[in-house]
Amino acid sequence: MSATTAELSFTEMLDANERETAKWQDWFEHQPAEVLDLPLDIALAKDVREFLLHIFAVELRYAERLTGSAVTEYEALPTGSVGEMFATGERARKLYREYFSRATDADLATSWSFPRAPLVCCAPASARCSRMPCCTEYDTGRSSPPRCAKKGTALTGLTTSCSVM
């Protein structure tokens, strides 16, 4: 087999993902619970817990969209323990397996387009929506000035260090 003809099935990819995830879950379960609260600055997460939540939320929400399921609100995902958080990833893999077990060639040839996520900005509190100080979600439209995605009010003093989650 050459690199240009190598094939990997969706089942094989899910199996590999599951094996790697199991290794990480085992590692986290053998650490003090406080490890989830260690400070971190990746993907706009403030700690390890938020970073894991981000990973599993993305997996689940794409699986839900792919299967036509209702998309779970980010705030509704469990974050209390390692087991709860990793169960979200397990839930996502189950949805993927169900989808691929019944997907036709036409399904697999379909091009998917998911809604754009709101922009999330590292702006200081003073730059956030004045009516909602904790607001960090910004309208992805090209409005000027940018607007709070939740309240529709103008945002001022934004930094340029924004990214899409």
User: According to the model, what pLDDT value does residue 61 have?
Assistant: 93
What pTM was estimated for this model as a whole? 0.65
Write out the residue range of the structural domain in which residue 39 sits.
10-108
Q: pLDDT by residue (tens digit) across 146-163?
A: 555 555 555 444 433 333
User: According to the model, what pLDDT value does residue 154 have?
Assistant: 52
Q: Residue 150 falls within a domain, yes or no?
A: yes
Q: Residue 4 falls within a domain, yes or no?
A: no
Q: Residue 41 falls within a domain, yes or no?
A: yes
Residue of higher predicted confidence among 160 and 31: 31
Q: Residue 89 falls within a domain, yes or no?
A: yes
Count: domains in the chain:
2
Q: pLDDT by residue (tens digit) across 66-115?
A: 999 999 998 899 999 999 999 999 999 999 999 999 989 888 888 877 66
45 and 91 in one domain?
yes
* Residues 44 and 165 sit within 8 Å (Cβ to Cβ): yes
pLDDT, averaged across the chain: 76
Q: Residue 91 falls within a domain, yes or no?
A: yes
Alpha-carbon radius of gyration of the chain: 19
The position carrying tokens 């706009």 is 44
134 and 61 in one domain?
no
The Cα–Cα gap between 6 and 77 comes to 37
Final residue before a domain boundary, out of 108, 126, 151: 108
Q: Which residues pair with 137 in a beta bridge?
A: 120
User: According to the model, what pLDDT value does residue 98 have?
Assistant: 93
122 and 85 in one domain?
no
Residue of higher predicted confidence among 19 and 44: 19
62 and 136 in one domain?
no
The answer, yes or no, to whether residue 120 has pLDDT greater than 70, is no
Q: Residue 93 falls within a domain, yes or no?
A: yes
Strand (E) or helix (H) holding 164: strand 162-164
The Cα–Cα gap between 134 and 126 comes to 10
Where residue 37 sits, what CATH number does that domain have?
Answer: 1.20.120.450
78 and 21 in one domain?
yes
104 and 123 in one domain?
no
28 and 88 in one domain?
yes
Q: Residue 26 falls within a domain, yes or no?
A: yes
97 and 19 in one domain?
yes
